[in-house]
């Protein structure tokens, strides 16, 4: 036996004054009386009980000394070797994945609540020499409390564990617990989970015995595993996929892929409801056999973008996978400037594209509106695409440009301080297109056989250009790409050909616009729960100084929970996507857009689109979308390991350290001494 506070043993010195007080004789005071007759009778009675009084006096002294000894030992806090060796170090792993949100029983409590209740019972069963650490897990473990025997701290750590909608992966938490347990002499890992998904590698680890090294104090000791199953529910239906894509038929429409699985052991009938901005717009009846899944594509969305939600109208154990979310992107407008004297075919081909904001001007208006020396950046970059039909400006800024049969005298352009050169040669005789790059995005889905061309000329493109179409050896269509500029050049007068009468013409125009924008599909703001949200944040339109650039964004998630995230190198990283739902990103200083870009000055479609995006924010959809997680039944592979698992408990008498019992004994002795001696004195 040893003591945690051995210096407290010096308090035994208090026994000296206690003994001295008992030995000390009281000095009697002399008092004259009229007679001794009555006192002699009392003196004879006292002589007959003097021996008993001495024994009682000695017993009181012994009780007082024993009381002092117990208190001193309690203060010194004795430790016993056999108790120290039997101390346990418990590592609690509480599964808080999505399947732990399944409701069990008639009380409507979730599996996580039952798991936390069982964990609290384990805390109540701790002995004074035991220690415990608390870890929660979904796909990544989180340590909520280090090793301690302070039960209040452990209870607070367990109660602080919040549910998540993230998939299950217990192996990282088990590996962390094993690494921690190996540093302890008598470790034990306790896992509270529904065990609906157990990997083969984790199953092998749970089924093995982890032996300590032979040179340790106890070579035959091992890390004990206790698996406490939570939940018995088996029936569930869930949405396992809900994604948005561009329509393969209509370029102006979107399609939504929905997949539903019946993870129950019986047939289920229910409805699938689709909501846009909380308004119901479509209902589909479903009937699924046990284990059956069904995929369906929803199309013909006429919405301009917003919150899209799919809901299963069914009451089952797990409600998390009964709702799925999708952020329907806005139809982005593309501002196009067409400079031409008159070309009805080209104007019609551009006008049919609903994505385009088309503005048509003549070369004279174009030159008179903006001085030639300023045709470099500001006005041209207000348009995302500029098309010059049989016209060539003397200078070009950065941007996207298409030249259609410019005049033969225009052989060079000043572009951002450099000179862009091409050599226009003689006219081609009876040109036909003999070869074209069928895999290039501009000529995709295009056939140019037997196109009748009336006028074309030879062209020598820049050395950096890529030729897309040829008439024998002469290029008739090429592209030139620079870091801040893209150019498409056509050496054909489309008004002197039958190309505008062919299906290939509007396809080429549409492909060119899309190639300028580098948009082969849509940008889908979609994540699975637990994934990191990563988005680039550009400076606000009109920000002229560093003070105008926002330093953070505000993210509003499910339940109106908000976070403020710092912008570092024009990018944000957000990892709190633990619950399924919509996450909206807004700049912190929204008033900046109003101060720097007044409504009356937003003349270009590009600036208007940027302003709308700044005010409305960016919407992300976060879903569980995990078929494995929808199967809430316990994995059959782990059933054998669950049969013998029970909650760890300790002896009732060892829940408190020895000094506590010493104090109780001392108090008991004090009560006995009071009844035997002091109480009679009072009477």
Residue 41 lies in a domain: no
Q: Could you tell me if residue 34 is inside a domain?
A: no
For tokens 């995990």, what's the residue? 626
| Same-domain pairing of 95 and 228 | yes
As a whole number of angstroms, the distance between CA 647 and CA 653 comes to 18
Taking 80 as the threshold, does the pLDDT of residue 80 lie above it? no
Residues 20 and 140 in one domain: no
CATH code of the domain covering residue 91: 3.40.50.410
Tokens of 321: 């996978």
Domain total of the chain: 5
pTM above 0.75, yes or no: no
Residue 17 has a pLDDT of 76
Q: Exposure of 21 by Cβ count < 10 A (0-12 exposed, 13-18 middle, 19+ buried)?
A: exposed
pLDDT digits (tens, 9 = 90+) for 305-329: 788 999 999 999 999 999 999 988 7
Q: Is residue 502 part of a domain?
A: yes
Compute the mean pLDDT over every residue in the chain, rounded to the nearest whole number. Answer: 79
Give the mean pLDDT of 526-553. 72
DSSP 629-645: HH--SPPGGGHHHHTT-
Judged by phi (left if over 0) then psi (alpha if -120 to 50, else beta), residue 277 lies in left
- By DSSP bridging, strand 78-79 and strand 474-482 are unpaired
Q: Do the domain assignments include residue 572?
A: yes
> Burial, 118: exposed, middle or buried (Cβ in 10 Å; 0-12, 13-18, 19+)?
middle
Q: Is the domain of 297 the same as that of 148? A: no
Lookup: tokens for 218: 């106890």
Residues 362 and 444 occupy one common structural domain: yes
Same domain for 102 and 119, yes or no, is yes
Confidence of residue 219 (pLDDT cuts 50, 70, 90): very low
> Domain of 590: which CATH number?
2.60.40
- The verdict on residue 38 lying in a domain is no
Range of lowest pLDDT (9-18, 147-156, 345-354, 457-466): 9-18
Over 50: is that where the pLDDT of 614 sits?
A: no
The CA distance from 19 to 11, in Å, is 14
CB 508 within 8 A of CB 443: yes
Q: Which domain holds residue 376?
A: 334-517
pLDDT in tens, 271-314: 999 998 888 988 999 999 999 999 998 877 666 778 899 999 99
| Domain termination residue (choose one: 462, 484, 517) | 517
Same domain, 604 and 579: yes
Among 329, 353, 383, give the residue marking a domain's end: 329
pLDDT at position 619 over 60: yes
Q: Report the C-alpha gap between 262 and 574 in whole angstroms.
A: 33
Instruction: Say yes or no: 664 and 650 in one domain.
Output: no
pLDDT at 60: 66
Positive/negative CA dihedral, 514, 516, 521, 525: negative
Q: Are 173 and 135 in contact (CB under 8 A)?
A: yes
Same structural domain, 449 and 543: no
Alpha carbons 390 and 363: distance in angstroms, whole number: 10
Distances (CA, A) of 512 to 36, 354, 386, 483: 136, 15, 11, 18
The 3-state secondary structure of 552-593 reads EEEEECHHHCEEEEECECCEEEECCCCCCEEEEEEECCCHHH
Q: Is residue 410 part of a domain?
A: yes
My answer on whether 347 and 493 are in the same domain is yes
Q: Based on the domain organization, do 469 and 401 belong to the same domain?
A: yes
How far is it, in rounded angstroms, from Cα 627 to Cα 125? Answer: 38
Domain end among 329, 355, 374: 329
Query: Would strands 423-427 and 435-436 be described as parallel, antiparallel, or unpaired?
Result: unpaired
Cα(457)–Cα(429) distance, integer angstroms: 9
pLDDT at 31 (0 to 100): 76
Residue 161 reports pLDDT greater than 90: yes
Integer Rg of the chain from CA: 43
Mean pLDDT for 184-189 is 88
Q: What is the mean pLDDT of residues 345-373?
A: 80
- Structure tokens given for 509: 């125009």
Look at residue 251 and tell me whether its pLDDT is greater than 60.
no
Residue 42 forms part of a structural domain: no
- What is the Cα–Cα distance from 412 to 462, expressed in whole angstroms? 10
User: Residue 494: inside a domain, yes or no?
Assistant: yes
Alpha helix segments (H runs only) across 125-233: 151-159, 171-181, 200-206
DSSP state of 682: H
Kindly state whether residues 264 and 201 are assigned to the same domain.
no
Most confident of 69-73, 579-583, 674-678: 579-583
Q: Within this chain, do residues 259 and 225 fall inside the same structural domain, yes or no?
A: no
Nearest of 571, 569, 541 to residue 553 by alpha carbon: 571
Q: Do 101 and 165 meet the contact criterion of CB atoms below 8 Å apart?
A: yes
**Is the predicted pLDDT of residue 600 greater than 60, yes or no?**
no
């Amino acid at each position: 036996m040893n003591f945690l506070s051995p210096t407290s043993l010096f308090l035994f010195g208090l026994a000296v004054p206690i003994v001295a007080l008992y030995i000390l004789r009281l000095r009697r005071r002399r008092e004259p009386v009229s007679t001794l007759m009555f006192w002699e009778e009392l003196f004879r009675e006292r002589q007959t009980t003097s021996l008993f009084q001495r024994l009682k006096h000695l017993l009181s002294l012994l009780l007082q000394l024993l009381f002092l000894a117990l208190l001193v030992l309690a203060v010194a806090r004795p430790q016993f070797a056999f108790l120290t060796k039997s101390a346990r170090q418990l590592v609690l792993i509480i599964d808080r994945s999505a399947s732990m949100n399944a409701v069990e029983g008639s009380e409507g409590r979730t599996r996580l609540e039952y798991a936390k209740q069982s964990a609290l019972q384990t805390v109540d069963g701790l002995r004074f020499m035991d220690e415990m650490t608390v870890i929660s897990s979904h796909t990544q473990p989180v340590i909520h409390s280090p090793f301690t025997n302070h039960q209040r701290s452990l209870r607070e750590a367990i109660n602080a564990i919040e549910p998540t909608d993230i998939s299950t992966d217990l192996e990282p938490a088990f590996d962390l617990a094993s690494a921690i347990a190996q540093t302890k002499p008598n470790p034990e890992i306790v896992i509270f989970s529904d065990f609906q998904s157990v990997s083969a590698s984790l199953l092998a680890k749970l089924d093995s015995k982890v032996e300590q090294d032979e040179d340790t104090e106890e070579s035959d000791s091992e890390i004990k595993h206790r698996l406490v199953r939570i939940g018995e529910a088996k029936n569930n239906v869930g949405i396992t996929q809900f994604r948005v894509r561009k329509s393969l038929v209509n370029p102006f429409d979107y399609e939504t892929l929905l997949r539903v699985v019946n993870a129950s052991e019986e047939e289920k009938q229910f409805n699938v409801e689709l909501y846009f901005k909380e308004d119901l717009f479509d209902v589909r009846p479903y009937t699924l056999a046990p284990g059956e899944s069904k995929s369906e594509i929803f199309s013909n969305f006429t919405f301009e973008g917003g919150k899209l939600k799919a809901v299963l109208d069914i009451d089952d154990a797990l409600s998390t996978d009964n709702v799925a979310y999708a952020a329907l992107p806005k139809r982005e407008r593309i501002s196009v400037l067409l400079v031409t004297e008159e070309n009805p075919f080209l104007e019609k081909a551009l006008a049919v594209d609903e994505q385009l904001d088309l503005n048509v001007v003549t070369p004279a208006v174009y030159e008179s509106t903006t001085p030639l020396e300023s045709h470099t950046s500001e006005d041209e970059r207000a348009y995302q695409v500029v098309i010059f039909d049989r016209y060539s400006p003397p200078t070009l800024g950065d941007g996207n440009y298409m030249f259609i049969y410019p005049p033969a005298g225009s052989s060079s352009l000043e572009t951002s301080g450099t000179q862009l050169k091409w050599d226009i040669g003689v006219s081609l005789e009876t040109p036909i297109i003999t070869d074209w790059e069928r895999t290039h995005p501009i000529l995709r889905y295009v056939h140019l056989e037997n196109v009748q061309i009336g006028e074309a000329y030879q062209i020598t493109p820049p050395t950096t250009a890529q030729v897309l179409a040829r008439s024998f050896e002469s290029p008739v269509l090429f592209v030139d790409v620079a870091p801040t500029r893209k150019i498409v050049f056509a050496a054909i007068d489309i008004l002197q050909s039958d190309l505008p009468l062919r299906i290939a013409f509007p396809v080429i125009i549409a492909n060119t616009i899309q190639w300028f924008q580098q948009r082969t599909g849509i940008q889908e703001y979609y994540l699975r729960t637990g994934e990191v949200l990563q988005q680039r944040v550009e400076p606000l339109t009109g920000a002229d100084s560093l003070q105008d650039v926002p330093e953070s964004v505000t993210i509003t998630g499910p339940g109106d929970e908000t976070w403020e995230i710092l912008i570092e190198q024009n990018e944000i990283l957000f990892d709190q996507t633990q619950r399924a739902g919509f996450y909206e990103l807004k700049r912190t200083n929204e008033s900046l857009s109003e101060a720097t870009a007044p409504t009356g000055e937003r003349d270009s479609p590009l600036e208007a689109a940027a302003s709308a995006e700044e005010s409305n924010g960016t919407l992300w959809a976060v879903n569980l979308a995990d078929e494995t997680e929808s199967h809430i039944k316990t994995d059959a592979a782990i059933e054998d390991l669950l049969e013998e698992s029970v909650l760890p408990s300790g002896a009732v008498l060892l829940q408190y350290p020895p000094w506590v019992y010493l104090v109780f004994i001392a108090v008991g002795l004090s009560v006995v001494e009071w009844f035997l001696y002091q109480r009679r004195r009072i009477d």
